[in-house]
Structure 1
Amino acid sequence: MSRHWQDLHSPASRASLYLRAARKRAISGDRLPDDGLRCFIRVQPGNLSAYRKLCHFPDDGRLPGTYPHVMAFTLQLQLMTAPGFPFPLLGLVHLYNRIEVLRPLGGIEGLRFSVHAHNLQPHAKGGTFDLVTEAEDGIGLLWRETSRMLVRGLKLEGEAAAPAEDEPAPLQEATRWYADSDIGRRYAKVCGDYNPIHLSAASARLFGFPTAIAHGMWSKAMALAALRGHLPHSGYAFEVDFRKPVRLPSEVVLSASEAGPAGALRLDGHGDILHMSGQWGPL
């Protein structure tokens, strides 16, 4: 596919994008546009400091591996709320996330991001697509993210692949943390993701959840911060499947393999609820 790139001086305001998202509540097509967005985005030191504190990353001179996701979030929002994008933002479900850190994320003042969507596939509950975000510095590609999103109720031709519901193997506990009732609002303030399902029980109930749930990318960031001693500074991939949502408030337990070039992790709640499973390995 020949992709049509639009180069931006800066992303649109989040307020205008959320207003656009609120106005679109229905699926308007079954094909992804071949458009992509590109933009240079600077690191905001105050925001970076707040993110490190929120997700328990040390200030070691490098960007946390998940932080480019935060930098690019508004650009992703702009792509998925564009007039030609066929799926409503509200109601999308984040199923899977993979980040690749190709080179060390140190000494960075800004990055040139590109965002596009592709790989539309049938799913037992609708359809999925991949949102791909890449970041470059003056040398070349530095970081890549793939987020798989579920569009519930989408009807596509073809046979849906069976979802991977296998139970990951037991692992040794690495740490545990408490997800308090306002973590969704605190994460939103730092990262800009104001999806109503994360903000309060009242707003979450509008989308079928009995209580607010934690952001999946907060859980992933907490896991990456806790396991940073298991991973090299670069040349690795860190991927997770989001299973059952973390209802707020609740305690969760992170278990993982021993430190090494490759390993596995899982995030569990009380009552044998598996919230997240994943793995890391060299590129």
Structure 2
Amino acid sequence: MQWQTLDSTPSLLPLYWRAALKRKITGSTLPERGLRCRMSVNPSAVAAYRKVCGFADSPMLPATYPHILAFGLQLQLLTDKTFPFPLLGLIHLRNRILIHRPLGGVGDVSVGVYAHNLSPHPKGATFDIVTVVEDALGLLWEAESQMLCRGVKLEGEAADSGLQTQGTLTELTRWKAPTDIGRRYARVSGDYNPIHLSAPTAKLFGFPQAIAHGLWNKARTLAALAEHLPAANIEIDVEFMKPVRLPSEVILMSSAAGSSGALELKGAGDIQHMLGKWQPIA
């Protein structure tokens, strides 16, 4: 794979225009290149993110924050003319992060993104967006976001890749996902996907109401679990099930804390919004 190094983080507005204009699937192979850029962590941006996602003040970056650093690079990768799938309409199925070392005192980092692992799926095809964050000592944090593009035809059988969780889960806490949380999260993350912003914009894409960002659900969950999770050498894997419609109340179920465990985010009538587990990095 070839890396293209950018001098600065991409400007989001032109990329959103590019995303809005591309509506067709144009191929069935992923580009063999990644994008990377050096960037610095802005304390006021981190503070705004903490507030929206429910993280307490801490010398450690929130476990999900590197996604925010990488968002512009991901958007540039996914809207490039060599990328075969339209960005609007992609569905985020799963997200796994690996924290190799504690995220304390993080200043200047190198962030890289690429796409790989194109695979058949009963509804189309999936691929992973991989994000890697390195500091002066090497690999600090990495993530895989599994995305679904409907309507892609690939040869081969779809693998059953559902997340298996074990153990008895009990209610840890519950919170309200307010009507405006999609807009508030968009302001701190840059992710202005119309399905998250309002009922009228969500209806354009077939949703009766706006839905919460999957990564807000994950961040809000990790904020609630913060004192139960190790600060490093941890892999946190979640599968997004049914979307959280806004507004609504959700219930976080969790197993006993420690180096490994399981979680479930539920809504009214036992609807499953998110399943997850954490464990030491293999």
Asked if structure 2 preserves the Cα contact closer than 8 Å seen for 1:5 and 1:37, the reply is yes
Q: 1:124 aligned to 2:122?
A: yes
| Alpha-carbon distance in structure 2 between the residues aligned to 1:163 and 1:4 | 28
Deviations 1:31-66 (A, max 9, x none): 000010010111122110001111111221111110
Instruction: Show the counterpart of 1:224.
Output: 222
Instruction: Show the counterpart of 1:31.
Output: 29
Instruction: Show the counterpart of 2:94.
Output: 96
Asked if structure 1 preserves the Cα contact closer than 8 Å seen for 2:92 and 2:147, the reply is yes
CA shift, 1:167, in A, is: 8.5
Structure 2 letter corresponding to 1:68: P
| Alpha-carbon distance in structure 2 between the residues aligned to 1:270 and 1:170 | 20
Q: 1:178 aligned to 2:176?
A: yes
Instruction: Show the counterpart of 2:3.
Output: 5
Instruction: Show the counterpart of 2:58.
Output: 60
Instruction: Show the counterpart of 1:44.
Output: 42
Instruction: Show the counterpart of 2:157.
Output: 159
- Aligned residue among 193, 196, 199 for 1:195: 193
| Alpha-carbon distance in structure 2 between the residues aligned to 1:173 and 1:186 | 27
TM-score by length of 1: 0.97
After superposition, the CA RMSD in angstroms is 1.3
| Alpha-carbon distance in structure 1 between the residues aligned to 2:249 and 2:166 | 20
| Alpha-carbon distance in structure 1 between the residues aligned to 2:219 and 2:38 | 23
Decide whether aligned partners of structure 1 residues 166 and 45 sit closer, same or farther in structure 2, where only a CA change above 3 A counts: closer
Gaps of 5+ in 2: none
Deviations 1:122-159 (A, max 9, x none): 00000000000000000100000000000011111111
Instruction: Show the counterpart of 2:69.
Output: 71
Decide whether aligned partners of structure 1 residues 134 and 159 sit closer, same or farther in structure 2, where only a CA change above 3 A counts: same
Q: 1:145 aligned to 2:143?
A: yes
Deviations 1:184-221 (A, max 9, x none): 00000111000000001111111111110000000000
Structure 1 letter corresponding to 2:61: L
| Alpha-carbon distance in structure 1 between the residues aligned to 2:183 and 2:51 | 15
CA shift, 1:85, in A, is: 0.4
Gaps of 5+ in 1: none
TM-score by length of 2: 0.97
Structure 2 letter corresponding to 1:48: V
| Alpha-carbon distance in structure 2 between the residues aligned to 1:212 and 1:69 | 22
Asked if structure 2 preserves the Cα contact closer than 8 Å seen for 1:135 and 1:143, the reply is yes
Q: How many residues align?
A: 281
CA shift, 1:169, in A, is: 6.0
Asked if structure 2 preserves the Cα contact closer than 8 Å seen for 1:124 and 1:161, the reply is no
| Alpha-carbon distance in structure 1 between the residues aligned to 2:158 and 2:118 | 11
CA shift, 1:162, in A, is: 3.5
